Amino acid sequence: MKLARYNNGRIGVVTESGLVDVTEAAGVDPAQWPPVGPTQLIADFDRLRPAIEAALASGTPIPLSEVRLKTPVPWPNKVIAFPVNYQAHGVEMGAGYRANNQGFFLKPSSSLSGESEPVVLPDLPGREVHHESELAVVIGKTARNVAPEDWKDVVFGYACLLDMVVRGREERVARKAYDTFCPVGPWITTADEVKNPDQLQMRLWVDDELRQDANTRDLVLDLPGMIAMASAVMTLYPGDIIATGTPEGVGPVVAGNKIRIEIDDLGEMVVDVVQGEGGQASMFDEPYQLVKQS
């Protein structure tokens, strides 16, 4: 099942014919603040699924071109991100560590956005903002100390994710925390529809230029390892998002670009890039030039 959040926070199931509204069956109030309805839907999905499937069977599809897709889980407890998790990316960045020995960091929920919302570039002369294509793993159960062999038991589904970053040497979280710096979407594909999440091909284009092309089989710390590591440190909750790291080929984007990420079995997400105002901070006063390793 492909679960989408759209327009003003309604919930839909995406089919070949379009999107079918299942908001009431999903028990979600689009006007609720904070918008925790999708998180509660994930936690209660097994109970709610029969009603959702009934609403899907009787509903009328809406063309996807007529809706605005939002980020599927706007209020997770946390977004967990694993840096330098592909060998070739570590080489291109000149990083002497990898995710298996460096661990993870957290991105704020306020950085989340969806396909219908552009990436807004901060006004930072002398700095580049880079794209990083990643697989998003959405947690479906409360869990702690998950054994690697049990990792699938706690996964709800998967989505495309862009981990945008101001390139530099400052604290990683600060460079990745701007609003709209974590597009996720275009929907969540439930785990039962993804046979081999450890063998998904992922590609990213900026306009018509293919920049990233890799497979999740090449992850340094694999999906079982990421879930085991994260859950060894903290409790995972329904709706938590794990960003699995980006492969080689990261590069700058500028206003007017379109970023397209495509992952096998999950579909594709296209996000516009626009120039924003503000965003200046003293930590970015010094220009930075990335020197890629050969």
Are 170 and 88 in a shared domain? yes
- pLDDT-derived band at 294 (thresholds 50, 70, 90) equals very low
pLDDT tens digit string along 241-277? 999 999 999 999 999 999 999 999 999 999 999 999 9
Q: What percentage of the chain reaches a pLDDT higher than 90? A: 89
Q: What is the CATH number of the domain that holds 149?
A: 3.90.850.10
Model confidence at 89, pLDDT cuts 50, 70, 90, reads confident
Residue 292 included in any domain: no
| Statement to judge: residues 150 and 14 lie in one domain | no
pLDDT in tens, 137-162: 999 999 999 999 999 999 999 999 99
Peptide bond into 186 cis (omega under 30): yes
Is 135 in the same domain as 223?
Answer: yes
Count Cα atoms within 13 angstroms, Cβ side, for 243. 31
Same domain, 171 and 226: yes
- DSSP-assigned states of every residue in 205-236: EETTEEEEEEEGGGBSS-HHHHHHHHHHHS-B
Residue 97: pLDDT band by 50, 70, 90 thresholds? low
Question: Which domain does 88 fall in, by range?
Answer: 79-279
CA-derived radius of gyration, the chain: 18
pLDDT reported for residue 179: 98
Chain segment 34-70, per-residue pLDDT in tens: 999 999 999 999 999 999 999 999 999 999 999 999 9
Residues 27, 129: one domain? no
